[in-house]
Amino acid sequence: MSSSGPCVARCAAVSAAILFSLLAGQFVAAQTPLGAGEPAWLAYRPVNAAAVFPGGVPDTIVKLGNDVLEDSAARELALGWRGMLRHEPRFVNNADAGQGRAVVMGTQAEIDAWRPPVTHEKHLTQDAYRLYRVSDVVVVEGGDARGVLYGAFALLRLIAEQHSLRVLDETSAPWALVRWTNEWDNPNGTIERGYAGPSIFFEEGRVRADLSRAAAYARLLSSVGIDGCTINNVNAAIDLLKPENVRDIARIADVFRPYGVRLSLSVDMSSPQVIGGLKTFDPLNAEVAAWWNSKIDAIYAAIPDFGGVVIKADSEGRVGPSQYGRSPADAANVVARALKPHGGVVLYRGFVYNNHLDWHDMKADRARAGYDNFHALDGKFDDNVIVQIKHGPIDFQVREPVSPLFAGLPNTNEAIELQITQEYTGQQRHLVYLVPMWKESLNTDMRASAAATPLPVKEIVSGRAVATQHHTAGGFVGVANVGTDGWLGSPLALSNLYGFGRLAWEPNLGAAAISDEWTRLSFGNDPEVRATINKLELDSWHIYESYTGPLGVGTLTDIIGIHFGPGVESAERNGWGQWIRADHDGVGMDRTVATGTGYIGQYPAPLAAEYESLATCPDNLLLFMHHVPYTYRLHSGLTVMQYIDNTHYWGAQAAAAQVPAWEALQGKVSDSTYAEVLKRLKFQAGHAIVWRDAVTEWFTKMSGIPDALGRVGHYPGRIEAESMHLDGYETVDVTPWETASGGKAVICDLPECAVQTTWEKPDGWYDVTVQYFDLLHGHSRFSLSVAGNEVERWIAGDTLPSDKLNGSTSTRITLDNVAIHRGDILRVTGRPDGAELAPIDYLSIVPSAVHSTVIRNAAR
Ligand code: GCV
């Protein structure tokens, strides 16, 4: 650290600056108004100020620099002081005022100039920060202006967690240079695999007029150290590169800039031809290269801090260099060379595969594609190209091994792509905290180091040169797909956005520590709230995995369309290659070198040996790596078939137990958050039963092996709608059969229909469930009556993601403590709406778990 002259002289240099306190008011006035859910973890709830600052809250905030990022840092501290400490700080940028109780913030150079150095040996790197005390002064020092902003957020985090700042000494630097989100937004305002409403960036083919949400999003991203955001779908709309659109997109970059978030774009390789009017988009053609140069120059003229581009090519219908016999390296490099003079990067996606594989070819394997397509190109990419690799070799399944490509490119920059939006993990209607899953990938030791030193994926993507790696950059990309509905729709899903940022900054943080940080920032420091939410979050991945994708099978969801409900066979007999190869004898993909697709051989030898052998392959990846009989015994001692049955029953039970756990927090979290989370957890509990029944029934039928515990196919209290007296309703087959109880449901093609049955069992208190289908479109009306008295009426008004009767639309209502007498008639009436024909699957009537004094049908 260097020092310069005495404070008086240095202060003169800053004295020309305007009194910052005057600006502070303006900053806050200009603060974007935030709607419900939007502040997320930046709500700045009151804390015990005396616990944080035992010697008194600093009343002066000194901002030494004038960078826009330091302005944001100051604005943020003001918000935090007011919200958390109930204190109105005085702002100055006169360094002399940094006496007494104050916070002084500035870059390393500004701090050096402010006062003789406190001995800090280590130079702060790009984006890094250091927080420390000099007697009563709290110093927020950044390696650069962005580091100052990150430091301010870090200080606010400590305050929100109510840590005592009597002693403070924290230095932190980002793990990797690239920490971006990708947003799969389309210009028409829709978002591919987005589950939280429309785009915050686009509407009706244009950039939104009101970008206040985009600004608020940049603030959130910045608070966890994310420094880049790709605003459009990797299935890129080609028109976005037209000059008028680039001008409009620059407005988004303008609102990102104060938070240090660099905007980037997904581009389509055919752009030179389609919008440039060239005869070709061959990346080795000189005119094509010139087109990219001038296009990129034009983008930088509009957006000087443009981050770079993301490219999806030769994948899922996108054109690419293969059309001209060129390689991904040729394609990436032509764009990279245009970006290079400006400091931009290309993130070239490793997600290149053939989705027309031959199911009959036992050697065909989609999992091989990344390595097969890229390994031979190692060392051929320019140094501002980063290959962006999904964490697993398939596609964000609930359990996958880490992609072997991470070890296959020792001379190429690599970034890991993680999916924050829950495409295959319950679409934010199921609670799945993904950080533990991501950490498993990041911590997987590829055993690729010649020196036998561990080489976990997190090291590979750090961009630091290590043993066998020669990387100049690397990073983390999170597919977030936030929308206007509380960013991710589900309040608890925000932990994934938060967690992604924190891991990208420091992957050695623990999943539990990140969950706890997020919980404290979002819900406060109440120990009961923390314990409950942390437990829900930390248990959630295994719960979801247990009823949707056992033993590394990948997923058993409907893979052809929306990836939400069960649809076991949809994986098979098509070109998509998400096969599970289940037949009457066994299940799983044989990916061994000895007899299978050879995929396992793509891993470095020690890891390959572990996966190749049944003796050492972990149970949780068994069906990913091997095809085994249903009678095969796992390391746990259970057979595969019994494990499938047990885990689905356990999972459904665990999902149900989340509901009362959350209910204990009523009154301890805001009413709206309480209600929203409760609604989702209840849905999940019901949907877990749909999953459980579908998967266990399907495998029982396929294997012919009954559940040793007699549960599958035997559902106490269940009455199939089709077996009841039908008043206008007609019976239909449901496809796939396993997604409806008994494979059938009833639908009503009249203005009103009913199903009814007479209760033949003893008088008592019962919990009554009606399992019905709620399609994306239509608001059917239902009512349940017992002995002529209406117990409940409801509308099928959810927006479950399909217009078919299947495992994505099957849902339920449960009414607790209904008094039913022998001989009572139970009747469900349905009134269709449009094409939604008030479909019913079954009723379930079981003795009440809790006898309440509140009698629902007390009117009787
Ligand atoms: C944006 C999966 C998703 C697609 C997505 C693709 C990708 O296949 O289902 O919606 O396309 O991944 O990552 O490019």
pLDDT (tens digit per residue) in 223-239: 999 999 999 999 999 99
| Per-residue pLDDT, 526 | 97
Record the tokens describing residue 97, joined without a space: 């005022």
Provide the percentage of residues in the chain whose pLDDT is more than 90. 89
Record the tokens describing residue 379, joined without a space: 């060392």
- DSSP string over 320-338: -GGGGT--HHHHHHHHHHH
Residue 739 has pLDDT above 90, yes or no: yes
Record the tokens describing residue 703, joined without a space: 């294997």
Distance 423 CA to ligand 1 centre (A): 9
| Structure-derived torsion over alpha carbons of residues 646, 649, 654, 658, reported in degrees to the nearest 10 | 170
pLDDT tens string 149-202: 999 999 999 999 999 999 999 999 999 999 999 999 999 999 999 999 999 999
CA neighbours closer than 13 Å in the CB half-sphere of residue 383:
7
The pair phi, psi for residue 348, each rounded to 5°, is -100, 125
| Per-residue pLDDT, 26 | 38
Cα distance between residue 215 and residue 728, in whole Å: 54
With bands split at pLDDT 50, 70 and 90, how would you rate the model's confidence at 30?
very low
Record the tokens describing residue 444, joined without a space: 């997987």
Give the other-Cβ count within 10 Å of 595's Cβ.
Answer: 11
Cα distance between residue 223 and residue 498, in whole Å: 9
CA neighbours closer than 13 Å in the CB half-sphere of residue 516:
13
Identify which of 253, 261, 282, 262 has the alpha carbon closest to the alpha carbon of residue 270. 282
Identity of the residue numbered 591: R
Measured in residues, the chain has a length of 860
Q: Give the predicted TM-score (pTM) of the model.
A: 0.94
> Active-site residue among 183, 185, 268, 423?
423
CA nearest ligand 1 atom 14, residue: 234
Q: Give CA 616 to chain center in angstroms.
A: 31
Average pLDDT estimate for 39-67: 95
Q: Which atom of ligand 1 is nearest to the CA of 563?
A: 9
> Active-site residue among 136, 239, 254, 316?
316
Q: Which atom of ligand 1 is nearest to the CA of 193?
A: 10
Cα distance between residue 659 and residue 678, in whole Å: 7
| Per-residue pLDDT, 16 | 28
Q: Which atom of ligand 1 is nearest to the CA of 235?
A: 1
Q: Which helix (H) or strand (E) holds 644?
A: helix 640-663
Q: Are 389 and 460 in contact, with CB atoms under 8 Å apart?
A: no
First-to-last alpha carbon distance for the chain, in angstroms, is 82
Q: Are 216 and 34 in contact, with CB atoms under 8 Å apart?
A: yes
Distance 266 CA to ligand 1 centre (A): 13
Distance 315 CA to ligand 1 centre (A): 9
Residue 31 has pLDDT above 70, yes or no: no
| Per-residue pLDDT, 5 | 30
Q: In what order do the strands lie in the sheet with 825-831?
A: 725-727, 753-758, 825-831, 781-786, 789-795
Residue 13 has pLDDT above 70, yes or no: no
Distance 458 CA to ligand 1 centre (A): 23
Distance 663 CA to ligand 1 centre (A): 36
Provide the percentage of residues in the chain whose pLDDT is more than 70. 92
With bands split at pLDDT 50, 70 and 90, how would you rate the model's confidence at 858?
very low
Active site residue 423: yes
Cα distance between residue 835 and residue 842, in whole Å: 20
Please choose from 181, 191, 193 the residue to mutate so as to test ligand 1's pocket, defined by most ligand atoms within 8 A of CB.
Answer: 193
Cα distance between residue 562 and residue 423, in whole Å: 8
Q: Which atom of ligand 1 is nearest to the CA of 417?
A: 13
Task: Collect all residues with Cβ–Cβ distance below 8 Å to 706 and sequence separation of at least 6.
Answer: 700, 712, 713
Q: Which one is predicted more confidently, 540 or 123? A: 540
Task: Collect all residues with Cβ–Cβ distance below 8 Å to 209 and sequence separation of at least 6.
Answer: none
| Per-residue pLDDT, 114 | 84
Cα distance between residue 269 and residue 266, in whole Å: 10
The pair phi, psi for residue 113, each rounded to 5°, is -75, -20
CA nearest ligand 1 atom 13, residue: 351
| Per-residue pLDDT, 116 | 66
Average pLDDT estimate for 33-55: 83
Q: Which atom of ligand 1 is nearest to the CA of 192?
A: 10
With bands split at pLDDT 50, 70 and 90, how would you rate the model's confidence at 810?
very high
Please choose from 316, 354, 481 the residue to mutate so as to test ligand 1's pocket, defined by most ligand atoms within 8 A of CB.
Answer: 316
Q: Which atom of ligand 1 is nearest to the CA of 234?
A: 1
CA nearest ligand 1 atom 11, residue: 235
Q: Are 255 and 211 in contact, with CB atoms under 8 Å apart?
A: yes
CA nearest ligand 1 atom 12, residue: 395
DSSP 827: E
Distance 354 CA to ligand 1 centre (A): 13
| Per-residue pLDDT, 97 | 56
Question: Pocket residues for ligand 1 (CB within 6 Å)?
Answer: 184, 192-193, 233-235, 312, 316, 351, 395, 423
Record the tokens describing residue 766, joined without a space: 């019962």
DSSP 424: T
The pair phi, psi for residue 360, each rounded to 5°, is -75, -15
Cα distance between residue 264 and residue 182, in whole Å: 9
Distance 318 CA to ligand 1 centre (A): 11
Distance 235 CA to ligand 1 centre (A): 8
Q: Are 184 and 198 in contact, with CB atoms under 8 Å apart?
A: no
Cα distance between residue 85 and residue 45, in whole Å: 9
State the average pLDDT for the chain: 93
The C-alpha angle 156, 419, 335, rounded to 5 degrees, equals 100
Average pLDDT estimate for 476-500: 97
With bands split at pLDDT 50, 70 and 90, how would you rate the model's confidence at 860?
very low
Average pLDDT estimate for 709-726: 97
Record the tokens describing residue 681, joined without a space: 């957890």
Burial 493-516 (b: 16+ CB within 10 A, else e): bbbbbbbbbbbbbbbebebeebbb
Q: Which helix (H) or strand (E) holds 87?
A: none
CA nearest ligand 1 atom 2, residue: 395
- Residue for token pair 């994708």: 549
> Active-site residue among 110, 282, 395, 824?
395
Cα distance between residue 37 and residue 30, in whole Å: 19
Active site residue 70: no
> How big is the chain by its Cα radius of gyration, in Å?
29
| Per-residue pLDDT, 23 | 38
The pair phi, psi for residue 140, each rounded to 5°, is -115, 105
Distance 408 CA to ligand 1 centre (A): 23
Please choose from 195, 233, 395, 557 the residue to mutate so as to test ligand 1's pocket, defined by most ligand atoms within 8 A of CB.
Answer: 395
- Residue for token pair 């639309």: 809
Burial 356-370 (b: 16+ CB within 10 A, else e): ebeeeeeeebbbbbb
CA nearest ligand 1 atom 8, residue: 395
Q: Which atom of ligand 1 is nearest to the CA of 390?
A: 13
